[in-house]
Structure 1
């Protein structure tokens, strides 16, 4: 099978060249028509067009065309692997799975099989649907901090995408899922890509351990250096008498509200080795403010889940209303095809949120760490970043964590600083005003943060050429503009530390 895919040039570059940028971009948005139009005008099929049409576009393929595209595997081989089935006409074959390429900065290009999406096969998704390479899984892969580690865990592996990335920097990976079908897809993908992933197809257990079970059950008593998880975090209304078969297992963990996420946040540190970290995507409920004088505090729930000895970094990327949330996930599973069922389920979402006084739902990224003894550089941090950020972001998160750890062990006052190359300054003032009313420092790379500067911090940043130490600059500014304010130096020092931690200011290593 892998040999046939190579011979067909079923890879990202060839597919993009074949379709053209416009049709390829549409395909990434699950819009098939531009790609189907490209296939329709071909003079004759090629192995690439056949493979693309079959596994990504839902095209039914004649037997002769299919046999020509897969000479080594053969139709019997494809059928035996469970990848194709006879179409209703009986004269054509259609795919039973989605198969597409995937690449990252860290790994060789691979092929990933999963269940067909609603845009490829009519009808509501099966409840044990195995999700493919979605935006959430890509986001987690791009976000993950990737140190070289001995033992890693992919909790809720699905089709295996996070495990494949982990194999590039972990000696051994445990991949768990509550779905036996998901583990079946993961095993198939591992075997199909054993060369790219540098694993022995006759001894997967040497590097990858696939385990069936829910949450931490399959790994209790073990400790991991790194955990990644794209869990079934979608908040879903519960109802009396529901069975496991009633749930979309790829997104619904079967718990009310955001209980599944809170359970993972509070329990994952217990299976981390000292200094080990965990990263996951999550939803959290945001309760309505008690009165008009208060504002919604999105951090209240996540903050309550943390134990005192856990370091944490929550980045909220999006906040939506209960109605928007319901529409998103009803649309995700194609549940809008039956108007009566859609209305009933929509109402169930709204009643469920109202029962807990939920006014909004947050989505974002979570980083957790069990501190090594005597070390707690990151502490607990919450950020709301709703604008586009640079991807992959993992290396920038690594930098922020490393800097926080370093600052915890050093005296900032002795550092010599320079402004990072990607940082720019903006000044805003009313027409005719003598001085700017707002001064902003903007970051062009990574998390692309913006800092509002006061006069003291503006002066400090302007003087950061690596010549003078932090303490020297603070003393100089205090004498110039401090005006006897006893809090001036400590306030300026606090702002400087924040700019260092966020990457606006960098230590000049070879200072004078």
Structure 2
């Protein structure tokens, strides 16, 4: 393999996937050594493994030192702990060197040139063991270096978050926009007949190809006919799929808001996170354009950041202005950062804070950039689009701030919510109250009262799973929900309650209509017959 580390975005600088027999030998060596998610956890222990996921290496180093010096220990040392080992301790060392996964170190030792680590995806009969290659991360490179500009990022919180919010029902055709090293495509192959995966980076496409071919047999792919299941395309955002439609789109795009400079080139940008647009323009382009890529019933899920400007009515005012009139939109804001917090976060992400003068200059550029557009803060979270099965006049606009811990995976809840939106659109008030409802199994009711109060001061429904929302209850709504056990229709419940509450059926229906629709969309109530 030719060493070309000084060449920007050169696919020849990615792991070499040209020799399928060699890949098979490396795959067997990792499998036989027990270098799997479970194997690493069993060797290190639960707490050191958890610490390792938080980039704390010492507990894992201690655990490896106390265990046998076998092939698994060598793989953990090299790929997870950024150490070197004698070449004769590393399984399939010659093949790994030839494939560009390892490189020689001093005194007959080898070290990681590329990160490759175990990963597990859910299968029909339990977890499926895979391995994912990416560039070395911040803890693995020299302390005085920033990440390379064409860095291909590995598995991190954003990767797993996107995988967990993606619906997993079978689909005909899916799009992985911004494939990176390819982990979302690895997931999609479990339930999509065909996947189109795109990226602007040729190195990223090469990494994705390596990971697909390396795991081909596990994924049920013929490595000689990869294109039968996956098509890898190079291009910017939606350009490579112009005119095509998909049942499902997933994307972790380069959404990081980055100050622009005069005359900057592609090689001046961190391609894994910087889409080359000013401000949040990249997220805007996707929100405006992704709806056209969706088939009826199709869903797009992506992660993104967006600016909140001084004078905006709400944190989502600008997002609302980007949306097509025929597409449902649901945005969950998970965090919100000031300009200073945001600049600090992303400068540290690329290790740019390791060089003080450059860090100061970049920090000032961020602050000046935000000030020029009167950016008050930056929202961060999940953005989901849905094309209804039929034309609509009032698309869903759902904006939530949920900063607490959510119950993963959320993919099933995302699918159910959009299904509920379609179901609700088809029902006027009469139809709605002719339905029979049940309270979801994870929902509980809370009542709060002051010590000297006879009646509750607040009543809430709380989800134990899914998005773990709370929903305030009026006396009327609490009474209605308490009877939703699958026996009575909404109309029958209203008839019984209206007499007790001394209110007409029509008035009670009007009071409850909007709340019941929200409870169905949020998953608190489920129609007995969908």
Band of TM-score, shorter chain: over 0.9
Distance of 1:420 and 1:25 partners within structure 2: 32
- SS of aligned partner of 2:128: coil
How far residue 177 of structure 1 moved from its aligned partner, in angstroms, is: 0.7
Kept after mapping to 1: 8 A contact 2:150/2:272: yes
1:273 to 285, 295, 299: 295
How far residue 95 of structure 1 moved from its aligned partner, in angstroms, is: 0.7
- RMSD after superposition: 1.9
Moved more, 487-496 or 241-250: 487-496
Q: Which residue of 2 is the match for residue 293 of structure 1?
A: none
- Normalising by the residue count of structure 1, what TM-score does the alignment of the two structures yield? 0.93
Task: Tell me whether 1:146 sits opposite 2:152 in the alignment.
Answer: no
How far residue 220 of structure 1 moved from its aligned partner, in angstroms, is: 1.3
1:350 to 356, 360, 367: 367
Kept after mapping to 2: 8 A contact 1:130/1:250: yes
Distance of 1:431 and 1:33 partners within structure 2: 51
1:117 to 134, 137, 147: 137
1:371 to 353, 372, 388: 388
- Normalising by the residue count of structure 2, what TM-score does the alignment of the two structures yield? 0.90
How far residue 239 of structure 1 moved from its aligned partner, in angstroms, is: 1.1
Task: Tell me whether 1:32 sits opposite 2:50 in the alignment.
Answer: no
Cα 1:400–1:323 shift into 2, 3 Å: same
Distance of 1:84 and 1:26 partners within structure 2: 25
Q: Which residue of 2 is the match for residue 503 of structure 1?
A: 523
- SS of aligned partner of 2:455: coil
- SS of aligned partner of 1:59: coil
Distance of 1:444 and 1:148 partners within structure 2: 27
- SS of aligned partner of 1:103: strand
- SS of aligned partner of 1:105: strand
How far residue 240 of structure 1 moved from its aligned partner, in angstroms, is: 1.3
Moved more, 99-108 or 350-359: 99-108
- SS of aligned partner of 1:151: strand
- SS of aligned partner of 2:347: helix
Distance of 1:507 and 1:270 partners within structure 2: 31
Kept after mapping to 1: 8 A contact 2:388/2:422: no
Task: Tell me whether 1:101 sits opposite 2:91 in the alignment.
Answer: no
How far residue 406 of structure 1 moved from its aligned partner, in angstroms, is: 2.1
Task: Tell me whether 1:441 sits opposite 2:441 in the alignment.
Answer: no
Task: Tell me whether 1:46 sits opposite 2:70 in the alignment.
Answer: yes
Q: Which residue of 2 is the match for residue 80 of structure 1?
A: 98
Distance of 2:64 and 2:137 partners within structure 1: 20
1:455-506 deviation digits (Å, cap 9, x = unpaired): 1111111222333211122233333325569754312122122112222122
Cα 1:176–1:503 shift into 2, 3 Å: same
For 1:236-255, list aligned pairs within 5 A.
236-255=258-277
Aligned residues: 497
Distance of 2:262 and 2:529 partners within structure 1: 63
How far residue 79 of structure 1 moved from its aligned partner, in angstroms, is: 1.7
1:194-230 deviation digits (Å, cap 9, x = unpaired): 1111111111111111111111121112222211110
Moved more, 238-247 or 251-260: 238-247
1:168 to 190, 194, 200: 190
1:258-300 deviation digits (Å, cap 9, x = unpaired): 100000111112222233221111111111237xxxxx51110
- SS of aligned partner of 1:175: strand
Q: Which residue of 1 is the match for residue 471 of structure 2?
A: 451
Moved more, 486-495 or 26-35: 486-495
For 1:334-349, list aligned pairs within 5 A.
334-349=351-366
How far residue 369 of structure 1 moved from its aligned partner, in angstroms, is: 2.0
1:465 to 485, 495, 506: 485
- SS of aligned partner of 1:336: helix
Task: Tell me whether 1:11 sits opposite 2:36 in the alignment.
Answer: yes
Kept after mapping to 1: 8 A contact 2:327/2:395: no
Distance of 2:415 and 2:249 partners within structure 1: 15
1:393 to 410, 429, 454: 410
Kept after mapping to 2: 8 A contact 1:378/1:404: no
Kept after mapping to 2: 8 A contact 1:159/1:186: yes
1:100-121 deviation digits (Å, cap 9, x = unpaired): 1111334622100000101111
- SS of aligned partner of 1:104: strand
Cα 1:153–1:351 shift into 2, 3 Å: same
Distance of 1:273 and 1:498 partners within structure 2: 25
Q: Mind listing any 5+ residue stretches in structure 1 that lack a counterpart?
A: 291-295
How far residue 378 of structure 1 moved from its aligned partner, in angstroms, is: 6.4
Kept after mapping to 1: 8 A contact 2:448/2:458: yes
Task: Tell me whether 1:311 sits opposite 2:328 in the alignment.
Answer: yes
Kept after mapping to 2: 8 A contact 1:376/1:405: no
